[in-house]
Chain A
Amino acid sequence: MSFDLNFIGILIGAIMASSVPLILAASGELITERSGVLNLGVEGMMIIGAISGFALMVISDNLFLAVIGSMTSGLIISIIFGVLTQSLLTNHVATGLALTIFGIGMSAMIGKNFVGIPGKEFPLLFVNLKENIPFLGPILFGHSVILYFAFLLPFLTNYFLKKTKIGLIIRAVGDSPTSASNQGINVILVRYSCILYGGAMCGLAGAYLSLIYTPQWIENMTGGRGWIALALVVFATWSPIKVLIGALIFGGITISQLHMQAVGLRIPVQLLSALPYIMTIIVLVVISRDSRKIKLNTPTSLGQIFYKEK
């Protein structure tokens, strides 16, 4: 019995690990979207973060530098998006798509020389406790510092948006950039900051993939997680806590269906593989049904180009 419990604990720990990149990227994108900017470049920023983190790790042999570097590179390519959409007033959707295509291509080019190089072991915290406490041990302990940060992030984001002045200003800009501008708020600055923050979080999500989750570089290794993160934000109706729930469900079903495949259940593999997507959407749609709340949480100006009157 204790073996079973421990197994479930390990399973839950694995689920948590697999949802980390989604939580990080979606929390970042959530802030960006709350300011009224729709950045579809999440996948691109994530994969740039993944390759630059891995490359820096190989070159410098310093994991701390690698993590910081991946966040910085995510941030830098989000600047491209910022300049295009905020200063040159291009369409958010088209620019975001271009950013994703750019990121995937760019990462493949940089990554050519890094294929097949083994990763470095990332330090895990409280490994002793993990092994000595059954069930709860593998759930609560033995994770990287980034995982703990990721699980705090939705709560911090929620607090930031609801309780702080800057959070209030971001929501105001997302609601009506024109009104905000007429109130003397620098809309462009706010939106730039949110875009850069989103970029850095996507970079961090990429670093988690290439440095911790599967410590190596594989071309296209984000495998659509950026798109899932984007969908999570929308289906969670811009609520950070629901993003966390959605990411866990997605991670949970992804891992469980792998186990089901391994056990050899007589369900078509294709159906099992599709299950995480279907279930996540269903659950989020069901928990976000309150149309009043949706109205209040949805950034009204999402995706609209803001042009300041002169």
Chain B
Amino acid sequence: MNTKLRVSEISKIYPSCVANDEISLEFGSGKIYALLGENGAGKSTLVKILSGVVRPDKGEVFLNDKSIKLNSPLDAKKNNIGMVFQHFNLFETLSVFENLSIDSDKRNEDLRLSVNNILKKYNFKIDLDIPVLNLSAGQKQKVEIIRCLIRNPKVLIMDEPTSVLTEQETEDLFVSLKQFSDEGILIIYITHKLKEVLSICDEVAVMRKGKIVSVSKTKEEKIETLANKMVGENLSTIKKKINNFKYKDEILKISNLNFSSDDPYETNLINLNFSLKKGECLGIAGISGNGQSELFQILSGEIITDYTSIKFRDKEISKLNPRERREYLMAFSPEDRISQAAVPELKIYENVALNNFKSSNFFEKGLVNEKKIKEHSKKILSNFSVNTDNVEMKSQFLSGGNLQKLIIGRELITSPELLVCFNPTWGLDVGAINYIHETLININEQGKSSILISTDNDELLKLSDRICVIYKGKLSKIMDVNEVTPEKLGILMGGGSID
């Protein structure tokens, strides 16, 4: 039987924004529907409403023309609506099987039988009796999918499913989704990646600022048309810079870097070796959780592993802490803007002072020189197009993009010789991404070097001069960007070999 899902005049208003503004849409089974939009466009709110996690202020949901009440996740389950969340809803310390059994009414033996059938049918390979924290992101996602499949869903909602997957895992996922769709499950696919919409979805609804701005067949769309609908303006595309390799000096050399941790959540690093020239950008690709955050913390000095492995401008800096490394003109932009790079409760100028607390300009005899810090902060805000000039504002009120500009600006205004950044555009909207990318290209052109650790392959291919892949704590060989393709990266990211 065909499933039809219709939402009618759904509205949800939060104190700070209108997340959904009178949204009406209709989905029918046998197809894959894309819900496309930038971060903050309201996609996630809409699907949270459909899965019963959030209640709308107004509006109705109809399943097969019958109005249904979705007051809790249980209601969604009763109506056979399954949801795979972007940030997995799994219990890391429980085993896979415990995770599956927690909301199942079946007896354990029956459940195991039906799970094994699903594993076989869709060719998933997952050990049911190990804790979830030992699984890769792709496997965790499969656990979430299995959890939905156990309940024979009519509707399956996937929220940004590929953000944590490798190229290969993404392809596998697409095969599975097609299979589900052929079996009559209605699939709603939330994403901001245009390529995915075109490659697997049949219809696409574009959301912007809480409203549906277009509904169309994907056959009639192209990347550019979708992008413009999504952003609402014509985007200038930045060209990849051309490196003329005018500098030859080696600025950073990592030799025999090892790191081993007792913490089961951390990844060990095994014998890393690489070097970086002046004016060069080295991209480090990989699926998150393969050692990137450990590598970043070692480069920034948050973790000290040994005293001999890092040479920067011919000086051994392995045992220096982050502040001392900054004095040697290194700069760092961590992955998590809110908890690592800035203190959200502090004001903008206070955050600016944070990584410069040795600067004699800012502090005299242990006292804070507010005036100087504020002047300096204003300079950052205007030089790096942060969307405010109020340095007294608390940092938490900046949008992700503006906060990232502030952080990058704070790091760059001291003219460092090397900037290490980790997922600098994660979760940002297209405009902010463009700005950050331009900035990163600019510093290379000024002869400053950068290391870009990122899980976004398009970004890496655009900005890097050379690229390598980190997989389970090991680095692949370093390749010139011209000889790298997304396919090659995908193979290396999944642990394969390309020779």
Contact = CB atoms under 8 A, between A and B. Distances in A.
B and A form one assembly: yes
Interface of A: 165, 168-169, 171-172, 175-176, 178-185, 291-292, 295-298, 300, 309-310
18 contacts: A165-B101, A168-B94, A171-B98, A172-B99, A175-B94, A178-B89, A179-B91, A183-B73, A184-B52, A184-B73, A185-B102, A185-B103, A295-B133, A295-B263, A296-B93, A297-B93, A300-B93, A310-B54
B40 interface: no
Contacts of A310: 54-55
B77 interface: yes
Q: State the majority secondary structure of interface residues on B.
A: loop
A173 to B, nearest CB: 9
Contacts of A184: 52, 72-74, 77, 103
Nearest to B74: A184
A171 B103 contact: no
Given A165-B101, A176-B91, 10 more contacts: A168-B101, A171-B94, A172-B99, A175-B93, A176-B90, A182-B51, A182-B53, A184-B73, A291-B262, A291-B263
B92 interface: yes
Nearest to B104: A165
Nearest to B55: A310
A310 B91 CA distance: 22
A295 B90 CA distance: 15
A295 B77 contact: no
A123 B62 CA distance: 65
A182 B73 contact: yes
Interface in B43-91: 48, 51-55, 72-74, 77, 85, 88-91
B347 to A, nearest CB: 24
A18 B265 CA distance: 40
A296 B94 CA distance: 7
A213 to B, nearest CB: 36
B264 interface: yes
Interface of B: 48, 51-55, 72-74, 77, 85, 88-94, 98-99, 101-103, 131, 133, 262-265
Nearest to A293: B264
B277 to A, nearest CB: 40
A116 to B, nearest CB: 51
Contacts of B90: 176, 179
Which are the 7 A-B pairs with shortest beta-carbon distances?
A: A184-B74, A184-B73, A179-B89, A175-B91, A172-B91, A291-B262, A182-B89
A176 B91 CA distance: 6
B102 A172 contact: yes
A267 to B, nearest CB: 37
A113 B94 CA distance: 51
B328 to A, nearest CB: 34
Contact of A300 (B77, B92, B103): B92
Nearest to A171: B94
B295 to A, nearest CB: 21
B171 to A, nearest CB: 28
A175 B89 CA distance: 11
Nearest to B131: A296
Contact of A168 (B73, B74, B98): B98
A300 B173 CA distance: 30
Contacts of B55: 310
A168 B102 contact: yes
A176 B92 contact: yes
A295 B48 CA distance: 30
- For A179, A181, A300, which residue has the most chain B Cβ atoms within 10 angstroms? A179
Nearest to B54: A309
A2 B99 CA distance: 55
A245 to B, nearest CB: 22
A296 B51 CA distance: 29
Nearest to A295: B264
A197 to B, nearest CB: 20
Nearest to A163: B108
Contacts of A172: 91, 94, 98-99, 102
A175 B54 contact: no
A292 B266 CA distance: 11
A172 B98 CA distance: 9
Given A291-B264, A296-B131, A310-B55, A183 B89 contact: yes
Nearest to A289: B262
Nearest to A290: B262
Contacts of B54: 309-310
Contacts of B92: 175-176, 300
Contacts of B89: 176, 178-179, 182-183
A171 B91 contact: yes
A84 to B, nearest CB: 24
A252 B72 CA distance: 51
A291 B261 CA distance: 10
A77 to B, nearest CB: 31
Nearest to A308: B53
A135 B72 CA distance: 60
Nearest to A182: B89
Contacts of B77: 184
Contacts of A185: 102-103
Contacts of B101: 165, 168
A171 B101 CA distance: 13
Contacts of A169: 102
Contacts of A182: 51, 53, 73, 85, 89
